[in-house]
Structure 1
Amino acid sequence: MELSVGEIARIQGLENGAQVTEPRVLQIASNLQPLTGTAGGQLRYRCMVSDGADITVGILPARLTPLVEQEQIRRFSVLKVLKFSVSKKAKQNENNTIVSFVVMADAELLYTADKIVAGPSAVLQQQQQQQQQQQQATSSMPAPQQRPSFGASPFMSRVEDSKPAAGAYGGASGGAAPILHPIKDLNPYHNRWTIRARVTQKTPIKSWKKPTSQGRLFSVNLLDESGEIRATAFTQQVDRLHPLLDVGRVYYISNAQVKMARQQFSNVNNQYELTFEDSTVVEPCTDATDVPQEELNFVPLGSLMKFEKGNVVDVLCVLQSVGDTAEITSKSTDRTMVKRDMMLVDRSGFQVRATLWGEEAKAFDVPAGSVVAFKGMRVGDFGGRTLSLPSSGAMTANPDVPEAHALRGWYDSAGSTTAFQSFDGGAGGGMGMGGGGMGMGEGRQDAIKTMAQVRDENLGGSEDKTDFFTVKGTIAFIRSSTLAYPGCASADCSKKMTENSDGQWWCEKCQRAYAAPDYRYLFSINVSDHTGQCWLQCFNESGEAILGCPANEAVRLQATDEAAFAQRIADATFREFKFRCRARSERFNDNVRIRTSIVGIAPIDYVAEAARLSALIEAMQ
């Protein structure tokens, strides 16, 4: 029975949810995949379906699931669809393409073919394509040999030399090159093609496990003159193909399955992807001078503030340091994950913390001091700017490109002794209300926000979130009327104490009395920069850094020497610091206000600050 040629093109014009009850004949053009989250808990399968001229996504009725699991219905099976509905969805791409799905309510198996069946219009189109390719190839290729007739429709049946065989073209055995198919023209409806492509990325072998199955996989990115495509090898093909495919080399590849791409796992611009199968042939190409090399758009680390969180960038950098692997538990999924942190630097004068995850983190063995090219690093904004390598990213150690050689020479001659600026503003532990908890010593230089940015970004304005940021400003006013509180004299307690009638000081937490309290700073300051001002709360460590003496000394001066106390306040006013701040909303009597506390403080290193500002100006040009 012939396929219902033109049916898929027709349903493109139907409304979403339209019902079709006239029988149609369609063929399954891809492997079947279980459809998760189906209504009523009935397992259904999805696939690509063909009408002989076009393809679209099809969802099989639940009553055919047993036949799929028994492999009676599989790729190339022809179905008589008795009733189906049309479902339309906007595909998330730059064109916002509308994709139509055939949701089958009832269907029956007619037969299973050994290849894609073609309709009349597709036959004509295929013949025209073959004639054009043969004409283009005659000037540079030997005259084709007589080819056998295939009998059935020539649609999807390339000439015999386009179906690769081991050693038949450019491989170890030599031979004539095949008629090539550009990557940009690959689609699930054509199963007779050969591409010549360069491997630009290769992932490590990964293991996966589901309730019903488990296995291994790896992926490669393939590039030719027309574009890129991602290809994945699963369990049976991993051992065969992983040693064969090397980054940078060019191969002839054919007989792989083309299917819709899962964009969340890919970093290439292609709506389709390849799956390597038992019949897939991969042969090295010995003449690959005209196959392009991968081009990466490297951005300086100092320009990362230009990119929003979630953007993907390519960077070429030096590994300043590499940490050990560590296990963390995700709060959202309660899963244990392996990570490895490293510090990256480049000629922009900035350093940034980068993170590898999972198998990449475990397998990473590149030593510190190496030059590494990262493709597809994802930008984060944790305390400034950070980078992480998603599963779709790639890295190459010591790449043989001019930019890497230049960076190597710079780091060996000057970079290894450079004092780098840092975006890393990670919020560590120990940030209790009782003190600073997180210092800002030399080498900790966070991305700095202006007072206007703090205000415009409403930092601390969310009741369910605490924000951390760094500002640089001048102390304009110190509120000294309430400078300190009488804290517990115990070394491990800082609770406020009360004075008893007998002159003793009582700590409710420790349940004991002391002869005298240990005063601890707790006061507010007004800090200004060129864009505005804000009030910051100081605790003991930041108070000592600002006033230059312990709280006990300041309280004594306030009580006994008013002039000396006023002078100490005056000396602290109009000094400039970098403040690491924590902002969060607090509710009092149904009123919400933002409380901003200092959790770290450091004087200004004007040499380093000048270098930071110079780098920012250079990055913005």
Structure 2
Amino acid sequence: MFTGSANGKRESSIRGRMSINLTANAIPAIINGDVNAKPLVQVLDVALVPNSNNSQQQKRYRVLLSDAVLSHDAMLATQLNDRITTGQIQKGSVVQLLDYICSPIKNRKIIVILNMETILRDCEIIGNPKPYMNSALPTVSALADNTGGNLSRSNTNSTSTVQNTSQSNTQNFRPTIQPAYQPPPVYKGRGAILKNEAPARIIPIAALNPYQGRWAIKARVTAKGDVRRYNNARGDGKVFSFDLLDSDGGEIRVTCFNAIVDRFYIVIEVGKVYMISKGSLKPAQKNFNHLKNEWEIFLESTSTVELCPDEDDSIPRQQFSFRPISDIENVDNNSILDVIGVVTSVNPSVPILRKNGMETQRRILSLKDSSGRSVELTLWGEFCNREGQKLQEMVDAGFFPILALKAGKLNDFNGKSIGSISTTQLFINPDFPEAHSLREWFDREGKYSASLSISKDNIPGGVKNEVRKTVSQIKDEGLGRSDKPDWITLRATISFIKTDTFCYTACPLMIGDRQCNKKVTRSGNARWQCDRCNQEFEECDYRYLLQAQILDGTGLTWVTAFQEAGEEIMEYTAKDLYLLKHEQQDDETFGEIIKSRLFNEFMFKLKIKEELYGDEQKVKITVIKVDKVNYSSESRYMLDSISKFCRQ
């Protein structure tokens, strides 16, 4: 450790004609690996690093540090640039180094200052410091013998400066220097090696920093995001990222843009181990990067990514930091976290229209754990069809699986809940201790114990933000009469279906990426004509425009169901019923089909909005989604409703 100390912290405005002790032997100790102390040093010079390659690059400053005996160059991390521009650090300033590293660059070592505190802004130069010579000076451990006495007589002449100036301090300066990091054997790739270019050394992810020379990391891909497209002032582009984990537990995100996406997206596979080198490191964007690493790797045209042919068991498949559900109540919104729980309910997947006009799928689950709490988990996109469908089948069969979620995003809208993102991973009934412990708890007592939800309006069998209502509440509460439509979920029975206008003939032509769907009529030559497209064609499309009356225990109302919802209700295509009624004129069969659909119970997702018809305002109720009633989920819903009522 360092010896010597400042006489307490002083106001930065004090000028330095007073006595102050810099930390003895700070410079050689830092250069030789001791970065655990917080030495007091003086700034001898400040200079802006020339930037001829890229004028848009952020400014970097070089400072010359002194311990009153020796001096050495240091680079200031960019987040400390304001210390220079505001004058907190200038020539003569005495500072305390709080966080720093020492990196080899082109056969010499540079101190990289990550954090510091100004003790004196302005002070006269202390001592008569000489430059520290990396290649000539001995290590700090060689400055003192085992008894803390004289320096070794075998030192060369180039070390005489250190011997003469440091000998008085060596008796009370016996730093414990960690041995320099020795990298494991370099992974032997089969590619050609450039002339006079030594192989990059393998280092742990935790040791990466922007000021290193050539490096390589060996790590396993734990997550891979989709390719995302963007548009900004520079034009259109695309980007994707993947996460890495090495044998020391270090994690870091790797990001690729544009042409680099085309080069590496297909190459990268989750679960595989790769050797990666020649990337650039930049500060991690914490708004999008949840990993515990200050840096992020950006691959470039010169970067290399090589698949390691042999499996490396020393690198784990995944690394979790599970939080009990009860702890999530106190976690900040938008945090990324890992959670494990028992799946107690799974809702059907429903289509959702995004703000960009694209449709996606959403499915909501309920998780509980031994903390006595449950939470709502929302799956988006392909998660709904892959893991989501499997989970629903398991729960419907009466088996409640264990689900481990890696990298879910917390939101606190309408209570705490978790949602999947592009880098989320789901593990059903995983084989690790936390899952086995949770299974034992659930089978022993968990299935019989109630849990308190941290997600408001969390109703098993229901859908988030779509409140259950009855038919009578639509009118009593004036739903649909505000500026925005109301969305509700209603369990009801079909009591009547209008058969004269149950569907219409539609234009099949595409306008851009969407079908026209405008109503078409027969032309004189028995072809179909669309006035909107001003074209004729032999075949048209048939789309539902189903008007039905639905009822529950509180009343009845009319609803309109379009194509997908109509097919769910009728279990026939609109074309089949149209041809049966109008072409084959088989009224008896048609009538039997209509009767078979009456008095069936469904779960209706309804959109309610007041619209203008002529001069009259009318409330229109549209069926957005319809599902058969899952009586297992409905039973849990009623039990949960009773439980909540009893707690009031």
Q: TM-score range by the shorter chain?
A: 0.3 to 0.5
TM-score (structure 1 length as normaliser): 0.42
TM-score (structure 2 length as normaliser): 0.41
Rg bigger for which structure?
Answer: 2
